[in-house]
Amino acid sequence: MKVSLNWLRDHVKIDLPVQDVAFRLTMCGLNCEGIEQHGDDHVLELEVTSNRPDHLGHRGVARELACLLDIPLEPLKLDYPLVDKDSTGRTLDEVATVVVDDEERCGRYTARIAVDLEPVASPQWLQERLVAIGLRSINLIVDLTNYVLMDLGQPLHAFDLDLLEGAEIVVRRAQRGEKFDAIDGSQHQLDSEDLVIADSSRAVALAGVMGGSETEVCGNTSRVLLESAWFDPVPVRETSRRLQLNSDSSHRFERRVDVDGADIASRRFFHLLCKEAKVKVLSGCLETVRDGLLEPGSPIKVRPERTELILGEKIADQEVTRILECLGFQQDPDGSSPGSWTAPSWRADCTREIDLIEEIGRIHGLDQVPDRQMEVRTVPEDDRAHQQERVKSLLEGTGHHESLTFSFGSAGEFVEIEDWWCVGEPWIVRNPVRANEGVLRRSILPGLLSCVRGNRVHGVESVRLFEVARVFHRREGVDRPVEKIHLAWVHSCAEGLSGTEAYREVRGVADAVLDLLRIDEAQANSVTWNPVPGDSGLIAGSSAALHVATDRLGIVGSVNLDGITGETWCGELDLGSLIEYTTLDQRFEEFSRQPGVRRDLNIVISDDVLWRDISTEVEAAQLENLEDLTFVDLYRGKQVPDGHKSVTFNLTFRAGDRSLTHEEVDETVQQLIERLQERLQAQLRS
Amino acid sequence: MNEGSSRDLDSLELDALKAIESATDASTLEQVRVGVLGKKGSLKGILRNLGTLPVEERPAFGARANVVKQKVEAALTDARERLGVDSSAGSNKKTAVAGADVTLPGRQVLRGSRHPVQQVSARMIKIFGNLGFQVADGPEVEDEWHNFTGLNIPADHIARDPSENFYLQDDLLMRSQTSTVQVRVMEGTPPPLRIIAPGKVFRPDTVDSTHSYMFHQLEGLVIEEGITFGHLKATLLTFFQQLLQDDGMKLRLRPSFFPFTEPSAEVDLYWRGKWMEMGGCGMVDPNVLEAVGVDPEKWTGFAFGLGIERVAMASFNIPDIRYFTENDVRFLKQFS
């Protein structure tokens, strides 16, 4: 809202530099976003909160200043000469009629009429005021309606009475499909939810939103019917939104204008009109008011101790009284409830004690309230957050950069990954900002992979990213998304990343996370990794899924990134579920201080035997004193027959109470070799 | 104690020390060292027979052997010094690498980074933790009750408009503020309460340098007896002082309007020469307390919501919010 300083001075005699005015207003809730100079005037751009429609007019802002600076608000002049009859001898009632069909939506309608208007240009002062706040001067009548709108915050509309068919005003619902031509030149098809102002044959205004072009006043209009009304906020907003027709008028009505303001603004208009033009105003007012609309609200009790409890500062009684009276509140008007206040008609936002306490605090200065420290408290550590933090540190320490991608996804490039590993259809977003973000993501990987592409396209050769975030799944019988915390990581490199070593690298991240969360211990060996099929979105043969017990809780593998050289590997874990398996009970375990004996084994074995088969056999052999089995290398090539591979691993033996002899270890290893030969057809190499 | 073995050790010690004392050059010294302490030396030979001793005697014998070893080593060191022999010569220590260039850079260690928004969030959590605030959590997809009704936002309020929110279906939308967690916590836990809820929020705003349709807020809520606006002021001031560690910063609470707090204020921060809006705050509206069955006459409290991206942009001097979701490695690695 643009506010002219000179204009404000009509209402309150401010004698302060403009910066001070701006600061005082800012610190009482009217944030000044800018000051412009206009000749001898300054225009302040004020940010008005949605609860304060009274600030959408200069007088409302001036009232705030009067209270802040403790100076009086000038009275508003509303008087003007009246005539009982027009030149044909008709009274107001005989000249025109007003019928309100829908009092729910039009709570109050007032119409006054001026006749025998002699054409005259808008005076200089009026034009200057309007131009200063960014409005165009059109003609005297329109300029005055705009002036009163910007002065009092009450929208007015002037009809050329000679263009109103049947000289009647009917406030009714539009017919479905009824056409309306607005003043701004736009054309609209109305709906039965829209409220219109009509004459005997057509809609002449869209109630509270905009007047019609067919009955607008012009420079030589001689008879004016001035509408000043109160429309229900919600329907005005709905019509304005649906027709995408916003105006200064709808902006105010949808925030709820002052119910008493309709009459005052109308009289103010005619006061100014009579000063500026030769005209006759018919006495009386064509008016309808919904029952009870004008009744003041219930008295509101304000307890000094409650005020002190909320603000943290005792405010003197006389200061409380001064502030509230200045803002238009009336103390105990009928003497029945001492210490109680009635809110003025323009403060529909004030209905409770807390609303008045806010007023007191706001004017007194919320920023001036003395600081008070709270008593000290300690906070227990959040175990789940702690585990998440450890996992993130691990990813950071292994060279991954933490990323932040949108929670929205699309049925795009990597949808197969989501379809395969995240059970259930995605949740659909009704109004996505980007067309390709029409669903909630089920996996972090698609978003992360497109960031990888972005980086690679920008020439970053090696990209390691990770993210911990929520994904949104569907579960039968649950009528809202199941939110899970996932961890995803990717490594994409132009060269040098391929084959078993690349798989082992991304898999190594998963293994480290499982180890860190001590999942294997917690789950007593129910952790397995299994090959994934080709429809998983990952490249079959080099990708695997993690199962803990019967739950699938992760995937690792490689993907095709079209147009990107080298290889891209990735993984994702259902971190939230894994953390649930973690035991926090960490205890020391005694270890043997005896020397260990290591034996390297290199076997040649059929290609279809997996490492898991070998490790299972080793475990099943229950070798005496075996401490550890470690995979070393896998090789296919010249010295290995077709359809076979060479696998190297080592075994560490250690006894708890003595040094092992080489002989006994060799004997144990020999047992294993025989077992592998027999059960897996393995051949010892070299 | 097995007399024979113990005597072996004594004579070994005597012989070795004598030999060292009489040595006149480095190679003699080295011969003695290998002969006594080497892999096939006399000390190792004696120790190999340890297994033949009764178990209860082994520890004492081992300890005695250790003393001998230390004495011989000390004598060797003294003798080397006396003869001016470099201690590394002749031992298994490596000599200097020929042609080494110690001005070469170190091999690059793999180092990742944490996202600046997460770093700032973590710092905020830590500072508020020190002030007694516990982290609370709520879903990112919310119903209208928790996103609006419970927060005193009436049915016809403009904030509920479908165009202002990401609706999934009627009564289900992406939360537009972390204040939803206030309602959830108060529903589940009676006061006193002192919590923060950091997290993502979603509003279909047009994207520009300061707006995104997904961003992070940190919500704070205190419900205790006797809590006033003065406590809110002091808490936020302490927080920003600890966060920025800069005496030049200023904080002001500028009256504003939010349906769920009253009085309400914007949190304005003056730092590095300009005022910035960091979020909103206020005293919890009695309607919000009543909606979750808390007696507003007994309990009062305050709430605030701070924009984490705003804090991050101010702290790191990042000019455009879109950097945060672009995830360009050249951006991210600056925060390692």
What lies within 8 Å, CB to CB, of B148 at 6+ separation is: B157, B159, B160
Beta bridge partners of B172: B169
Confidence at residue A250, expressed as pLDDT on a 0 to 100 scale: 95
What lies within 8 Å, CB to CB, of A558 at 6+ separation is: A502, A503, A538, A539, A542, A543, A567, A568, A569, A570
Confidence at residue B94, expressed as pLDDT on a 0 to 100 scale: 62
Report whether B202 contacts A472 (CB < 8 A).
no
Q: pLDDT of B2-54, one tens digit each?
A: 445 677 788 888 888 888 888 888 788 888 888 888 877 888 877 777 777 77
| Chain A residues 410-449 with CB within 8 Å of chain B | 427-433, 440, 448
Is the minimum CB–CB distance between A512 and chain B shorter than 8 Å? no
Query: Does residue A478 sit in helix, strand or coil?
Result: coil
Is the minimum CB–CB distance between A482 and chain B shorter than 8 Å? no
| pLDDT bucket at A92, cuts 50 / 70 / 90 | very high
**Nearest-by-CA chain A residue for B254:** A27
Q: What is the interface size between A and B, counted as CB pairs within 8 Å?
A: 217
Which one of A310, A428, A472 makes the best mutation probe of the B interface by having the most chain B beta carbons within 10 Å?
A: A310
Beta bridge partners of A626: A653
Tell me the shortest Cα–Cα distance from A6 to chain B, in angstroms. 25
What lies within 8 Å, CB to CB, of A680 at 6+ separation is: A605, A606, A609, A613, A614, A617
What lies within 8 Å, CB to CB, of B216 at 6+ separation is: B117, B121, B198, B199, B200, B201, B307, B308, B309
With 70 as the cut, is the pLDDT of residue B90 above it?
Answer: no
State phi, psi for A611 to the nearest 5 degrees: -55, -35
A430 and B332 within 8 Å at the Cβ level: the answer is no
With 80 as the cut, is the pLDDT of residue A585 above it?
Answer: no
Confidence at residue B2, expressed as pLDDT on a 0 to 100 scale: 46
| pLDDT bucket at A526, cuts 50 / 70 / 90 | confident
**B127 interaction partners in chain A (CB closer than 8 Å):** none
Confidence at residue A522, expressed as pLDDT on a 0 to 100 scale: 67
Report whether A282 contacts A115 (CB < 8 A).
yes
DSSP structural state of residue A453: H
**A233 interaction partners in chain B (CB closer than 8 Å):** 156
User: HEC states along A457-472?
Assistant: HCCCCEEEEEEEEEEE
Tell me the shortest Cα–Cα distance from B56 to chain A, in angstroms. 15
Please provide the average confidence, as pLDDT, over all residues in chain B: 88
Query: Does residue A169 sit in helix, strand or coil?
Result: strand
Number of neighbours of residue B318 by Cβ within 10 angstroms: 19
Report whether A421 contacts A446 (CB < 8 A).
no
**A231 interaction partners in chain B (CB closer than 8 Å):** none
* Cα diameter, chain B: 105
Number of neighbours of residue A173 by Cβ within 10 angstroms: 19
With 90 as the cut, is the pLDDT of residue A337 above it?
Answer: no
DSSP structural state of residue A16: S
Percentage of residues of chain A with pLDDT beyond 70: 99
With 70 as the cut, is the pLDDT of residue A642 above it?
Answer: yes
User: Considering only A97-106, A207-216, A341-350, A492-501, which range has the smallest mean pLDDT?
Assistant: A492-501
Q: CA distances (Å), B156 to each of A297, A372, A602, B149, in order?
A: 21, 37, 75, 11
Tell me the shortest Cα–Cα distance from A51 to chain B, in angstroms. 7
| pLDDT bucket at A13, cuts 50 / 70 / 90 | very high
Report whether B201 contacts B219 (CB < 8 A).
no
Strand pairing class (A2-4; B214-224): unpaired
With 60 as the cut, is the pLDDT of residue A201 above it?
Answer: yes
With 70 as the cut, is the pLDDT of residue B87 above it?
Answer: no
Which one of A48, A68, A404 makes the best mutation probe of the B interface by having the most chain B beta carbons within 10 Å?
A: A404
A309 and B228 within 8 Å at the Cβ level: the answer is yes
Q: What is the DSSP string of B184-232?
A: HHHHHSPSPEEEEEEEEEE--PPP-SS--SEEEEEEEEEEETT--HHHH
B156 and A234 within 8 Å at the Cβ level: the answer is yes
Residue B19 vs residue A81, higher pLDDT? A81
* CA atoms within a 13 Å half-sphere pointing along the CA-CB vector of A268: 24
| pLDDT bucket at B67, cuts 50 / 70 / 90 | confident
Question: In 3D, which of A71, A566, A29 has the Cα closest to residue B253?
Answer: A29
Please provide the average confidence, as pLDDT, over all residues in chain A: 92
Query: Does residue A33 sit in helix, strand or coil?
Result: strand
With 90 as the cut, is the pLDDT of residue A42 above it?
Answer: yes
Residue A437 vs residue A233, higher pLDDT? A233
A374 and B132 within 8 Å at the Cβ level: the answer is yes
A430 and B200 within 8 Å at the Cβ level: the answer is no
A472 and B143 within 8 Å at the Cβ level: the answer is no
Query: Which of B132, B207, B324 is nearest residue A404 as measured by Cβ atoms?
Result: B324
Is the minimum CB–CB distance between A357 and chain B shorter than 8 Å? yes
Q: pLDDT of A538-562, one tens digit each?
A: 888 889 999 988 889 999 999 988 8
Q: pLDDT of A347-361, one tens digit each?
A: 999 999 999 999 999
Confidence at residue A145, expressed as pLDDT on a 0 to 100 scale: 96
* CA atoms within a 13 Å half-sphere pointing along the CA-CB vector of A628: 10
Is the minimum CB–CB distance between A459 and chain B shorter than 8 Å? no
Confidence at residue A667, expressed as pLDDT on a 0 to 100 scale: 94
Which one of B161, B264, B329 makes the best mutation probe of the A interface by having the most chain A beta carbons within 10 Å?
A: B329
Report whether A488 contacts A414 (CB < 8 A).
no
| pLDDT bucket at B86, cuts 50 / 70 / 90 | low
With 70 as the cut, is the pLDDT of residue A143 above it?
Answer: yes
Confidence at residue B1, expressed as pLDDT on a 0 to 100 scale: 43
State phi, psi for A227 to the nearest 5 degrees: -95, 130
Report whether A215 contacts A164 (CB < 8 A).
yes
| Chain A residues 369-388 with CB within 8 Å of chain B | 369-374, 376-380, 382, 385
Confidence at residue A605, expressed as pLDDT on a 0 to 100 scale: 94
What lies within 8 Å, CB to CB, of A340 at 6+ separation is: A299, A300, A301, A302, A331, A332
* CA atoms within a 13 Å half-sphere pointing along the CA-CB vector of A583: 10
Query: Which of B112, B118, B234 is nearest residue A464 as measured by Cβ atoms?
Result: B112
Distance of alpha carbon A166 from alpha carbon A201, whole angstroms: 8
Confidence at residue A525, expressed as pLDDT on a 0 to 100 scale: 63
Can the peptide bond before residue B192 be classed as cis, meaning omega within 30 degrees of 0? Answer: yes
Residue A573 vs residue B94, higher pLDDT? A573
With 90 as the cut, is the pLDDT of residue A495 above it?
Answer: no
Q: Where are the alpha helices (DSSP H) in A58-182?
A: 58-69, 92-95, 124-132, 140-152
Sequence-distant contacts of B86-90: CB under 8 A, at least 24 apart? B89/B26, B90/B26, B90/B27, B90/B29, B90/B30, B90/B33
Report whether B145 contacts B156 (CB < 8 A).
no
Q: pLDDT of B100-121, one tens digit each?
A: 788 888 888 889 999 999 999 9
With 50 as the cut, is the pLDDT of residue B246 above it?
Answer: yes
Confidence at residue A524, expressed as pLDDT on a 0 to 100 scale: 65
With 80 as the cut, is the pLDDT of residue A214 above it?
Answer: yes
Report whether A467 contacts A404 (CB < 8 A).
yes
User: Considering only A352-356, A480-484, B97-101, which range has the smallest mean pLDDT?
Assistant: B97-101
Query: Which of B135, B141, B257 is nearest residue A51 as measured by Cβ atoms?
Result: B257
Report whether A268 contacts A148 (CB < 8 A).
yes
Task: Give buried/exposed letters for A63-76 (b at 16+ CB in 10 A, else e).
Answer: bbbbbbbeeebeee
Confidence at residue A682, expressed as pLDDT on a 0 to 100 scale: 92
| Chain A residues 194-233 with CB within 8 Å of chain B | 233
- Which tokens is A233 given? 């906020």
Which ipTM value was assigned to this complex?
0.88
Is the minimum CB–CB distance between A49 and chain B shorter than 8 Å? yes
**B214 interaction partners in chain A (CB closer than 8 Å):** 406-408
| pLDDT bucket at B159, cuts 50 / 70 / 90 | confident
Query: Does residue A574 sit in helix, strand or coil?
Result: coil
Question: In 3D, which of A286, A467, A470 has the Cα closest to residue A392?
Answer: A467
Distance of alpha carbon B46 from alpha carbon B12, whole angstroms: 9
| pLDDT bucket at B95, cuts 50 / 70 / 90 | low
Tell me the shortest Cα–Cα distance from A366 to chain B, in angstroms. 7
